[in-house]
Each structure stands twice: as structure tokens, then as C-alpha cells.
Amino acid sequence: MTAPLYLTGHLAPVTHETEGRDLPVEGALPPELNGRYLRNGPNPRPGEDPGHWFTGHGMLHGVRLQGGRALWYRNRWVRTAALDGAPFLGPEGPDLRAVTANTNVVRHCGRILALVENGLPHEVTDRLDTVGPYDFAGRLTTAMTAHPKEDPATGELHFFGYGAMPPFLTYHRAGADGTLLESREIPVGGPTMMHDFAITERHVVWLDLPVVFDPARLGRGMPYRWDDGYAARVGVMAQGGAAPVRWFEVEPGYVFHVGNAREDAAGRIVLDAVRYGREGFLRSWERIGGAGAAGSGPGAQAGDQPRLHQWTLDPRTGRVNEQPLDDRSVEFPTLNETLVGRASRYRYAVAGDGLVKYDLRTGASNGYDAGPGQAPGEAVFVPAAGAGAEDDGWLLTIVSDRAGRGSAFTVLDASDLTRVATVPLPQRVPAGFHGTWLPDEPR
């Protein structure tokens, strides 16, 4: 029997935890990069087939940088109850601790959290050891998205949880001190799979899209499918108070990852994200393990591939304008996160064997080619010391060989995407999802 795609090549899991010290450096690491780059992704245990790329146990990979040196590489499974064999669904319903914690890793108020959207975050140390599930002192009683947004001005953390049973969507807001300040239900059309969302300076932006829970698929990978009967909507909700969400119907599509959102001078909400058309979603979903969940349809059209897309929502008129920003197939859009929810000029995304940088002001773009057969991951932007421009900084990523032969930590100059340093890693790193840069905190 042929192994599924998510267990082969650069997606194939590694079989053990390891560590390497004093790693070789090709080029020169910027000496100001003092901290840890962490990347999360699915890594089933040896012999396991989780049924879908998205459902393997979480594994963290870390590279420690200091003074122009790469001090160590380390990888560790996130030790959740699921890793110990506990089932997610029990007689009393979902166990929010029995999850994979395989999607993202963030730091808020000094806590490093490994995230997955169907359960609680799991706190880990800066050496990647698992502390345990974290529920905001007992106040978080729903799952937590893997894509929380920290407001760069207030330090507040905005996030949500979605589920297969009511309440389908719950909004949460935590203060800069880590206290969970607000939790409230947001009515939506049904059990939609909401992977990401956005904030602006004064609003929260919701993505209520036609990929929904299908109980017939429980126990077989990801129990979600495309539903032509579910309306595609983008919602705008004022932060604070209890004002209802203003919903805008949009062309059917799906979004895994948002670039950013902002309010323009006319009070409109401008959102950009990577959008999949129906057939593009079906094709991608089946390739990564969802065969049978997506249904069937006519041959995919060129416009169905995942492309950077923009919606402009006008709360005064109720009108929405949407347009593709490029015709390339891309994923994992990122930005300078000091501008989350604000006007921001640049986006960085994975495109085939390389990365692409978009200038949203001029429409120009340029790219980095990692070479034939190479697969770069999401590019994390780190501002340069004393940065004077939005793109004055570095992009950090892990590039893996698609044939599974090895991986390297790579640093690019974000202004022109030239490579400044490469650190060959002592172990292959499977293609994963999201990462973060954790600068050393003042002692």
C-alpha cells in the first residue's frame, strides 16, 4: 500500500528527539538576533497514521541564537494527554487536554504556549519541555484558536474557540497581564471550521466560511467538509461592549491564514488573506488526507488556487469589494507583527520552492528561490535593531529538502530577500505549520 502524502518526503515525521550544539553557520548570523526561533508542526509517533496531515502529534523544533552563533538545535514532542493515548472524545464530551498542540507557538505575558484549535493551549519552557495544559486560571472553558492576535498597542491578546456543538464560536480577550477579561458567544450559521481571524485597532473580523463539521467523519482524520449550502460571510465586530456583528456576504471560498486587517480613512475594513476557491480547497484537502471529506466537483480552475486576496468592507453602505492581489499560488502569509491590525505595506508568503514579498502599496513583488526541490516554511519577520522602515529586519525560516534529505535554518534580509546566513540542522525537520521568534527577555 502506498503511504499517504503526509507520511512521505519532507512531510514525513522524524522518529526521535535529539539535540545538537554549536551548529555550523554558513554566512554570518546577525549578532543582534539573540533569542530562540521555535517552529511547531505535526509529527506522529513511529508507526502511527493519524489519517490527516493536520492531526499528528505536535513537535516543537528550536534554534537558539546568541551573539552571531547558533548554540543549539533541539526538538521535542508536546506532551499532551493525547500523546499518552487519551481519547479526545469521552463519555462526558471532548477532553480539551487530549489534543495534539501541533499548529503554532506564541509567547504572551511570559508564557510560551503550544497551540491547536480544538483544545487548550499547552505551556512549554524555552527549552521545549512541556509544563502542561493552560486554561487562564480556570477561566478558559472552550478550545483556543492557534492564531491569537496580540494588539501591538495594548498588549491584549484576542482569540476565540470554535466547536462542533453550540456555542459554535466564542470570543475571548486577555489583558497584557495574562488575565482572561472577556468571553462571549458569537452567533454563526453552524459548526464552521474557523482557522483564523483578524483584528484592527477597534474591530474584530470573523470568517464564517463553508467548511463545516461532518459527524459522519468522526474518527477518520479531520471531520470537516465543504458545504455548498453554507453561506460565506465576513463579520465585523466592534471591540468592547456587546454590539452585534455586522455580516457581509462574500464569494464562496475558504481561508486558512490571514495576512492582516486595518481600518482606512473612510472607516472601511480592509482585510487580506490567502483565499481558496471551492475546487482549490477540495484538491488541497484531499491531498493532505481529507479524501472523501471534500466531495467532488468539476476540474479545478486556475483561479481556485490559493492566492493573496483582499476584501474591503464598508459598514456604512453594507457593500463589499473583493479582488485577488496576485495570481501565484501562495500560503502562510506573514508581516511585521508590530503592525497587526494597522496599515502595513508588506506581506511575505511561501510560494513553491521559495518565498515572495508583496508591496501592497505599489503592487510590486520580489522573491527568494531556495532551489529546486527545496521547501521553505513560513517566514517569521524580526525587526532589526533600531529599524527605520517597516521591512528593515530579518526573515527566519526552515528550508527542507522535498526528498527528505535534510533541513537548514535560514536567515534572509527582509528588505530584498537576500540570504545572509544558513545553519544546517543535525536532523531533518518535517514540513510544519507556524513558528515564532522569542527574543531574550531582559534579566
List residues forming the annotated binding site for Fe cation: 147, 195, 257, 434
Which grid coordinates belong to 86? 487519551
Task: Say which residues have a Cβ less than 8 Å from residue 38's Cβ, sequence separation at least 6.
Answer: 60, 61, 62, 105, 112, 128, 435, 436, 438
Q: How far apart are CA 163 and CA 96, in angstroms?
A: 11
CA within 13 Å, CB half, 160: 25
Helix (H, G, I), strand (E, B) or coil at 284: helix
Decide the pairing of beta strands 269-276 and 254-263. Answer: antiparallel
Over its C-alpha atoms, the chain yields an Rg (Å, rounded) of 21
3-state secondary structure of 107: strand
DSSP class of residue 21 equals E
Task: Pick out the residues of the known binding site.
Answer: 147, 195, 257, 434
Give the Cα separation of 155 and 129 in Å (integer).
26
Nearest to 120 by CA among 163, 84, 75, 68: 163
Alpha-carbon distance of 101 to 118, in angstroms, equals 9
| Per-residue DSSP letter, 250 | -
DSSP string for residues in 54-76: GGSPEEEEEEEEETTEEEEEEEE
Which residues are bridge partners to 39 per DSSP? 61, 435
Residue pair 125/142 in contact by the 8 Å Cβ criterion = no
Provide the 8-state DSSP code for 371. -
Residue 239 half-sphere exposure toward CB, CA atoms < 13 A? 19
d(CA 436, CA 223): 28
CA pair distance 301, 168, nearest whole angstrom: 32
* Straight-line distance from the first to the last Cα atom of the chain, in angstroms, rounded to the nearest whole number: 55
Give CA separation, 112 vs 115, 131, 134, 138, in Å: 10, 10, 10, 18
Chain length of the chain:
443
429 and 372 Cβ atoms separated by less than 8 Å: no
